[in-house]
Structure 1
């Protein structure tokens, strides 16, 4: 009983520094971790393997601890990269860049370990902990690129056969047969993440050399993408041969996993060949002894205290991202030039409207120019003016977020980009969109009005949010104009709409948020 008690006390003494440091770290990053885990519960998405990967990571960490028997100490040099990772996490919180916060979680975990273990010991934990990066939902940003690559590869393969087809964006039209959409699920992202995870695990368990691990990882990436390209091509080809009656169209997910499983056979055959190579069979040299044992108990806990204070300070300094979300947005009461513009019924322009999530204030109106109406004929142009405003930036209610888009990529394709400048010099981004279904075109001009500054792209609009920390204004708005016409110069028409309405809109936005700020501080 006494021996067991001594062992238990020794275990508590060994893990206590790690519990304290990781407890302080999780105080800061827990909302982000909770968001990552919530994506693992969505079993129809690309990250449902997260729970399995977490279990594998825990097993590998325990395996590494038993093999390496690490001894904790204090390595102050690693406070620098740890502090830099904390700053990156804090910047992501200020800018509401969830992806930046998510991608720093794994480096923060490894950085905390490095402070207590040093490089010679922590490098054995890079793969056991780092493998979790393949379950962090930041890989969605590759999806659109992977979709386009898949379309290009299949366009090349279809060109080898006597098949009449056309490609527009992510749509493949088989002339006289039907159409296929290479959607998000057809990008191959799921196979890529699983393939990368398996390659990293195989390398950790079977390879000694870094070169073999990197080579096997790159081959796994290629095979994962190749499996998806073959899957999409077979489905399209069978749809052509069977006049869209093949069961593969309905069961394409199951078919895809069978193709991916078949691709693993040559992959692991290559892995076995690398494992039996002469370079891998050569025993590595003995690692240099670590000086951790010389670190005093007092020095260790001083390091734990210093490292733990850093995330706590960041947690205290960061502004709260919480905030009430309105069940429905309030209406912006704008007064446009009623003598020239008259309202039309609806808030869409030829089926288009921007996708904006949880705005606080909205003005969205279709109009027509009275001057374009002649005789009994209707208006030649349909116009759209939209303002989507957020009183302050907070979680799930911010101007630039994943769900906010100028157009739905599944329904619209950009044909041409251009610039629009108001008489006062305000720059706006212009784009002409064409509908996949109807072929109709709409011409848009838009800008982001953040804390009194104008930006034309989302990244700069995100960066402009930093100014709201030092400014009385915390508002951010999307201001967008649209024109739909069959026989007109769309760029000129939308430029004229901007010229006649933007000054009025800007003055009313400024007045509204100035009055709101003044009344809240009286």
Structure 2
């Protein structure tokens, strides 16, 4: 019993510094971790493997700890990179750059470990902890590039067959048959992330040579991309052959996973061949585990490593803030009462999805001057203004939950540029509902801390430039027109010209300090 108590006490003494340091770190990064996990629970998206990958990471970490029996110490020279990662995280919080915060989570975890274990011991934990990076939702920025690559690849494949088609942006038009959009879900991002994760895990469990791991990883990436290209091509080809009546169009997700699973067969055959190569056998036979580190001053290390994230947390403003259950009504008065409200707040079933704004004006309306006596309105108009006093967790202008349209219901048909009378840029977009066949013409712009942008990424970066002025607000303005006989783009331009000045004045009065 005495020996057992000694082992328990030794375990607690060795484990407690890690608990102390990681407890302080999670106080800082918890809002970001919560946002990452919220993407894992959306099981129909690219990060639904997150929980499984987290479990695998825990198992591999325990396995590495049992194999190496690490000894806690204090390695002060690693405080510098840990502090730099904390500064990067703090900047991401101040500038409301969610991607920057997410990018630093895994380096912060490894940084806390290396301060207590040193480089010789922490090498065994790099892959077990680092594999979580494939579940961090920063990979979405690759999606557009992957979409374009998929389009070009299928353009090449379709050209080998006697198929009359045209390609415009991410749309493939089968002349006389129908059209396919190579949307976000068709980019192949989910297969790429799963393929990368499997490759890293296989390498951790079966390879000892770094070159073998790199070769296997690159092959896994190539096969994951190939699986998506094959999936998209087969769906488009079958749509052409069956006049858009193939069941693969509706069941494209399951079909894609079957194709991906098929590519795993050659991948693991190649992996097995790499395991028995001469260089792998030599590396396995000569493997020597890193010896334990000196005990050192583990408690001073734990105290210093825990103090740094708490110090950053103390300097940061409250990132949660208060989220209103219902946004404040944002009253806008238009000259001469030109526009009158219509019942409802959508156009042909379309409306933007915007989460937790502080103030909002959402109204469907018609133009009094365009209505002939005794007749109904020729066109329906939509105006949405969504404003944030300041951007914080769960209340950000550009976030995953804020969408101009639902991709399952609306398909972009045309993109065009517009500008207001004052020269403010707007992005124009014509949407079509495939089920109803109805069109909606919309224009939108972002107004971030006094700066105008039409691109989501640039709207995020506008917070960096806006950091040096007194404004903290961010707003989205969306204009919409639905009509059958009129020129939608011209009607939209007239609507923007007549309403934009009043909207900007109201926003400036509300938010300018």
Shared fold (TM-score, shorter chain, > 0.5): yes
| 1:520 match | none
Instruction: Give the structure-1-normalised TM-score.
Output: 0.83
Change (3 A) 1:8 1:314: same
Higher mean displacement: 376-385 or 200-209: 376-385
1:169-217 CA-partner distances (Å, limit 9, x unpaired):
5454545555545444433233222211110011112222222211211
Q: Is the 8 A contact 2:95 2:467 kept in 1?
A: no
Q: Is the 8 A contact 2:348 2:438 kept in 1?
A: no
Structure 2 Cα separation of the partners of residues 130 and 262 of structure 1: 27
Structure 1 Cα separation of the partners of residues 188 and 424 of structure 2: 38
Q: Is the 8 A contact 2:75 2:118 kept in 1?
A: yes
Q: 1:391 aligns with which of 372, 375, 389?
A: 389
Structure 2 Cα separation of the partners of residues 368 and 48 of structure 1: 43
Matches within 5 A, 1:365-380: 365=363
Q: 1:449 aligns with which of 444, 447, 453?
A: 447
| 1:55 match | 55
| 1:150 match | 150
Structure 2 Cα separation of the partners of residues 31 and 388 of structure 1: 23
Q: 1:462 aligns with which of 460, 463, 468?
A: 460
Question: Any stretches of 5+ residues in structure 1 without a counterpart?
Answer: 518-522
Q: 2:426 aligns with which of 426, 429, 447?
A: 429
| 2:101 match | 101
| Aligned length in residues | 507
| 2:115 match | 115
Structure 1 Cα separation of the partners of residues 253 and 494 of structure 2: 49
Change (3 A) 1:502 1:116: same
Q: Does 1:254 align with 2:278?
A: no
2:100 aligned counterpart, secondary structure? helix
CA apart distance, 1:154: 2.6
Matches within 5 A, 1:284-433: 292-293=293-294, 296=296, 299-338=297-336, 341-343=338-340, 345=342, 353-365=351-363, 385-406=383-404, 411-413=410-412, 415-418=414-417, 420=419, 422-423=421-422, 427-433=424-430
Structure 1 Cα separation of the partners of residues 221 and 111 of structure 2: 27
CA RMSD of aligned residues (A): 3.7
2:74 aligned counterpart, secondary structure? coil
Structure 1 Cα separation of the partners of residues 251 and 439 of structure 2: 33
CA apart distance, 1:290: 6.2
Matches within 5 A, 1:172-191: 172-175=172-175, 177-191=177-191
Change (3 A) 1:165 1:186: same
Structure 2 Cα separation of the partners of residues 384 and 44 of structure 1: 31
Structure 1 Cα separation of the partners of residues 449 and 240 of structure 2: 54
Q: Is the 8 A contact 1:164 1:174 kept in 2?
A: yes
Q: Is the 8 A contact 2:363 2:383 kept in 1?
A: yes
1:24 aligned counterpart, secondary structure? helix
1:86 aligned counterpart, secondary structure? helix
| 1:31 match | 31
Matches within 5 A, 1:473-488: 473-481=471-479
Question: Any stretches of 5+ residues in structure 2 without a counterpart?
Answer: none
Higher mean displacement: 251-260 or 475-484: 475-484
Structure 1 Cα separation of the partners of residues 419 and 227 of structure 2: 44
CA apart distance, 1:62: 2.2
Q: Is the 8 A contact 2:31 2:393 kept in 1?
A: no
Structure 1 Cα separation of the partners of residues 111 and 374 of structure 2: 73
1:79-102 CA-partner distances (Å, limit 9, x unpaired):
122112222222333333333323
Matches within 5 A, 1:210-221: 210-221=210-221
